[in-house]
Amino acid sequence: MRERAVSGTSEGPAPAADLDRPVVTESEIDTPPGTEPPAPAPYRSVFTAAPLAMAVVDREGMVVSANDSLATLLGSAPDELAGAVAADLVDLTCDARTWHAYREVLRGRQSRLRCTRRLKHPDGHSLWVQVTVAPLPADDRAVLLSVADISSRRELQARLRHLQMHDPVTRLPNRTLFFERLSAALEAEAYEQSGTGRIGLCYLDLDGFKAINDTLGHRVGDRLLAAVAERLTRCADEAGHARTSTPLVARLGGDEFALLVEDSTGTEQLAELAESVLEAIQDPFDISGQRLSVSASIGVVERHAAGTTPTALMQAADTTLYWAKADGKSRWTLFDPERNAHRMTRQALASTLRPAIDRGEFRLEYQPLVGMEDDRLHGVEALIRWNHPQFGVLTPNRFIGLAEEDGSIVPLGRWVLRTACRQARRWQLDHPGEPPIFVSVNVAVRQVWDSDLVADVAETLAETGLAPHLLQLELTESAVMGSAGRPLQTLKALSDMGVRIAIDDFGTGYSNLAYLSRLPVSVLKLDGTFVRGFQYDDRDTATRPNPADEVVVEAMIQLAHRLGLTVTAECVETSAQASRLRRIGCDTGQGWLYSRPVPPDRISELLGTPGVQAGVGNP
Q: What is the mean pLDDT of the segment spanning 547-571?
A: 87
- Give per-residue pLDDT as tens, 360-374: 999 999 999 999 998
The lowest-confidence range among 227-231, 345-349, 461-465 is: 345-349
How is 181-208 classified by DSSP, letter by letter?
Answer: HHHHHTSHHHHHSSS-SEEEEEEEEEET
Lowest mean pLDDT: which of 73-87, 441-455, 478-492, 551-565? 478-492
Inform me whether the pLDDT recorded for 92 exceeds 80.
yes
pLDDT band at 483 (very low <50, low <70, confident <90, very high): low
**Residue 488: its pLDDT value, please?**
81
pLDDT on residue 480: 67
What does the pLDDT read at residue 138? 65
Are 73 and 167 within 8 A, CB to CB?
Answer: no
Interval 563-608: pLDDT, tens: 899 999 999 998 888 998 999 999 999 999 999 999 999 998 888 6
How many other β-carbons are positioned within 10 Å of the β-carbon of residue 153? 12
Report whether pLDDT(203) > 50: yes
Q: Residue 344: its pLDDT value, please?
A: 78
Calculate the CA dihedral of residues 538, 543, 544, 545 and round it to 10 degrees: -80
Check residue 546 and give its pLDDT.
Answer: 59
- Least confident span in 36-45, 209-218, 373-382: 36-45
Average pLDDT of the segment spanning 283-292: 91
Residue 11's pLDDT is 36
> Residue 465 pLDDT > 90, yes or no?
yes
Rounded (5°) CA angle 321-326-330: 70
User: 495-518 in b/e burial notation, b at 16+ Cβ within 10 A?
Assistant: beeebbbbbbbbbebeeeeeebee
**Alpha-carbon span 522 to 517, nearest angstrom:** 10
Q: Check: CB of residue 502 under 8 Å from CB of residue 588.
A: no
Burial class (CB in 10 A: 0-12, 13-18, 19+), 212: buried
pLDDT of residue 6: 33
Under the banding of pLDDT at 50, 70 and 90, the label for residue 618 is very low
Q: What percent of the chain has pLDDT over 90?
A: 57
- pLDDT at residue 531 above 70? yes
**Per-residue pLDDT at 58 exceeds 50:** yes
Is 359 strand, coil or helix? helix
The pLDDT value recorded for residue 536 is 56
Look at residue 487 and tell me whether its pLDDT is greater than 90: no
Check pLDDT > 90 for residue 289: no
Question: Which of helix, strand or coil describes residue 433?
Answer: coil
List the beta strands (DSSP E) in 326-433. Answer: 332-334, 362-371, 377-388, 392-394
pLDDT tier at 232, thresholds 50, 70, 90: very high
Q: Summarize pLDDT for 598-607 with one digit per residue, the tens.
A: 999 999 888 8
- Predicted confidence band of residue 121 (pLDDT cuts 50, 70, 90): confident
d(CA 97, CA 75): 27
Among 45-54, 154-163, 327-336, 479-488, the minimum mean pLDDT is found in 479-488
Give the pLDDT of residue 347.
83
The pLDDT assigned to 597 comes to 95
**What one-character DSSP code corresponds to residue 314?**
H
Is the model's pLDDT at 191 over the cut of 80?
Answer: no
Q: pLDDT at position 276, please?
A: 96
Please provide the average confidence, as pLDDT, over all residues in the chain.
Answer: 85
Region 249-276: what's the mean pLDDT? Answer: 94
Confidence label for 84 from pLDDT (cuts 50, 70 and 90): very high
Q: What is the CB neighbour count within 10 angstroms for residue 239?
A: 21
Per-residue pLDDT band at 485 (split at 50, 70, 90): low
Per-residue pLDDT tens for 1-50? 333 333 333 333 333 333 333 333 333 334 343 333 333 456 677 787 78
pLDDT at 461: 97
Buried b (16+ CB within 10 A) or exposed e, 162-184: eeebbbebbebbbeebbbebbee
Q: Which residues contact 342 (CB under 8 A, 6 or more apart)?
A: none
220-229 confidence digits (pLDDT tens): 999 999 999 9
Q: What is the pLDDT of residue 541?
A: 47
pLDDT at 29: 37
Q: What is the mean pLDDT of residues 168-177?
A: 95
Express as a percent the part of the chain with pLDDT over 70. 85
